[in-house]
Amino acid sequence: MKTYQKIVHSVVEILEIVIIVFALSWLIKTDVLGFSSVSGDGMLPVLGKNNQVLVVKFFRSTTFLARGDIVVFRDEQMNEHTERLVGLPGDRIEIRNGFAYVNGKPTYEPYARTPPTYQMAPVFVPKNSVFVLNDNRTVQNDSKEFGSIPIDSVQGRAVMCYWPWSKMQIL
């Protein structure tokens, strides 16, 4: 009888460990860390198509996000996008002669690839929204095309490119 009790006790312990591991994995995956794949060439030269990034998900509010951060968000069709955060709620964003201006002041963006003739009329970022642009500004799949995005659609901040190995870097 004692052997049977030892087996039952061992099985229960293993089940407890498995349940705890799955619960922690689920919690970390949904609320702490995630992974994303860059879908296009909009973030060149920093990130290219199919680069894999680590996303920290507790950076979802404007309290933790800053201009220049690379964010991952989902559109209405649940497609993931990886883009540069340029404007926070209440900001006025425009592009003149290839340079981004936030609230009338030029921003330093060494990562941006914008033709000097590129222009964008001023837009205001509404409350509870952010304005995102590709680093390769000629690619239109960003807030120039679809406007500001709700902060609720932001999945988190990309903090590291981990694949391919040759592009591994802290973002």
- Do residues 77 and 91 share a domain? yes
Model confidence at 2: pLDDT above 80: no
- Do residues 89 and 8 share a domain? no
- Do residues 18 and 87 share a domain? no
- Do residues 7 and 51 share a domain? no
- Do residues 21 and 40 share a domain? no
> How confident is the model at residue 15, as a pLDDT?
84
- Do residues 85 and 163 share a domain? yes
Mapped onto helix, strand or coil, the DSSP state of residue 119 is: coil
- Do residues 26 and 60 share a domain? no
What's the structural domain count of the chain? Answer: 2
> How confident is the model at residue 10, as a pLDDT?
83
Helix (H) or strand (E) holding 170: strand 169-170
Task: Please write the tens of the pLDDT for every residue from 103-136.
Answer: 999 999 988 887 878 888 999 999 999 999 999 8
- Asked whether the beta carbons of 62 and 160 are under 8 A apart, the reply is no
